[in-house]
């Protein structure tokens, strides 16, 4: 059985922390953030899909990033 390197362990912990922080976001904000970052949708595509304005999408992403930065960094 191959043992993980310290770097692999560090990356795994960082991913676990990132997912935990994202999981703490309010549901709508988390949904918008995930569509933006992990589905690579544009603000307009997200807005159209969720029937909200592009500005609302922009605001949710900005607030999500601010929250993530505060907890993660």
Per-residue pLDDT of the chain (73 residues; tens, 9 = 90+): 567 888 888 989 888 988 899 999 999 999 999 999 999 999 999 999 999 999 999 999 999 999 988 887 6
**CA separation, residue 62 to residues 4, 31, 68 (Å):** 35, 13, 10
Contact at 8 Å (CB) between 54 and 45? no
What does pTM read for this prediction? 0.81
Range of the domain at 70: 26-73
Q: How many domains does the chain have?
A: 1
Which pLDDT belongs to residue 8? 87
Query: Token pair of 37, please?
Result: 């970052």
Helix ranges restricted to H, the chain: 6-23, 27-37, 43-50, 54-72
The residue whose two tokens read 């191959």 is 2
Which pLDDT belongs to residue 71? 82
Note whether residue 11 is domain-resident: no
Note whether residue 30 is domain-resident: yes
């Amino acid at each position: 059985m191959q043992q993980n390197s310290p770097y692999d362990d560090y990356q795994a912990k960082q991913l676990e922390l990132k997912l935990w922080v994202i999981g703490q976001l309010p549901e709508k904000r988390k949904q918008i953030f995930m569509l933006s970052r992990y589905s690579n949708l544009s603000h307009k595509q997200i807005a159209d899909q969720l029937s909200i304005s592009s500005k609302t999408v922009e605001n949710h992403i900005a607030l999500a990033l601010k929250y993530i930065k505060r907890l993660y960094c």
